[in-house]
Amino acid sequence: MFKKLAVYGTAGLIATGVISQTRLGSYVGTLFNQVTTGLQESVSPELELERIKFELSHLDQDIDHATTQLAEETTAIRLLNEEITATRERLEQSEVALRKRGEELKKGQVNVSIAGRTPSIDEATRLLREDVDRLGSQRRELANQERILSLRQNTQSLVAKQRETLVRQKAELTAAVAEMESDLKLVRLEQMESQYQSDDTRLADIKKSLKDLRRKVMVQKEKLNLVNQVEEQPTGGESVDEILGRLNGPAARE
């Protein structure tokens, strides 16, 4: 029984620890999200615009990288194309020569020499077979080179499109940033022209202070007017003689 209690207790502690860690992670994530959101909201439009312009300037590096890659692919394609053309011409010449040797062998003629001697028909036939097999291997290598050329041409096309897209989008984004910068300046000027507005500029603080001061002065003036009105109130329509006559009343005579 004690073992069961120990196991249950351990499991409870582990579960509590897991829940605590889960809650802690949730609190940390929530706090981080609030801080991030607060920072984003506190960033001024001017600062955000400068950040965008900074990121936009890095597109030049991407364009330069794409340009370099395009130049490399173009050069590789040109060299490979020259190599393929030369190989194709050489193989065509070899094929013509082999066919000629084959026709001569059919007639019993041997017009090749090995180490300064003329081989026999059988040996010449064996040499012809080896040269034909070698030509077949070279043709397969040529076919592989042509496939490589095709792949490089596809890569060149993709890189060219990527570079074109980067250049076009950079121009569009640059124009959009310039327009946004102009709009932001216009908004700031309109805010400055407003008599009472609330923004984060020193001019706005001065205007607000003047507005508050004007209200206080108006309150003081109104208060002074009210005091003067009380002091100037009429005495009930009685003349001075009537007021002094009260001194002659019964109470005064006593």
Note whether residue 154 is domain-resident. yes
Tens-digit pLDDT profile for residues 48-73: 989 988 888 888 999 999 999 999 99
- pTM: predicted TM-score of the whole model, two decimal places: 0.53
Note whether residue 5 is domain-resident. no
Tens-digit pLDDT profile for residues 11-36: 555 555 554 556 666 655 665 555 45
Q: At 199, is the secondary structure helix, strand, or coil?
A: coil
> In the chain, what is the straight-line distance between the N-terminal and C-terminal CA atoms, in Å?
110
Note whether residue 209 is domain-resident. no
Note whether residue 120 is domain-resident. yes
For 188, phi and psi rounded to 5 degrees? -65, -40
What's the residue count for the chain? 254
Whole-number pLDDT of residue 49: 86
d(CA 13, CA 19): 10
Q: At 107, is the secondary structure helix, strand, or coil?
A: coil
| Mean of the per-residue pLDDT values of the chain | 79
Whole-number pLDDT of residue 9: 53
Whole-number pLDDT of residue 5: 46
CATH number at residue 75: 1.10.287
What six digits make up the tokens of 122?
A: 């059988």
d(CA 236, CA 217): 33
Q: With residue 34 as reference, give the H or E element that holds it.
A: helix 2-42
Number of structural domains the chain divides into? 1
Whole-number pLDDT of residue 212: 83
Residue 104: give the domain boundaries.
45-203
* Other residues' Cβ atoms within 10 Å of the Cβ of residue 180: 15
Whole-number pLDDT of residue 251: 53
Note whether residue 238 is domain-resident. no
CB 110 within 8 A of CB 118: yes
Note whether residue 184 is domain-resident. yes
Q: For 230, which DSSP code?
A: H
Note whether residue 49 is domain-resident. yes
Note whether residue 221 is domain-resident. no
Q: Render each residue's pLDDT in the chain as its tens digit; 254 residues.
A: 545 445 445 555 555 555 455 666 665 566 555 545 555 567 888 899 899 888 888 889 999 999 999 999 999 999 999 999 999 999 999 999 999 988 888 888 887 766 567 888 888 889 889 999 999 999 999 999 999 999 999 999 999 999 999 999 999 989 999 998 888 888 888 877 765 554 556 667 777 888 888 888 888 888 888 877 766 555 556 666 676 676 776 555 45
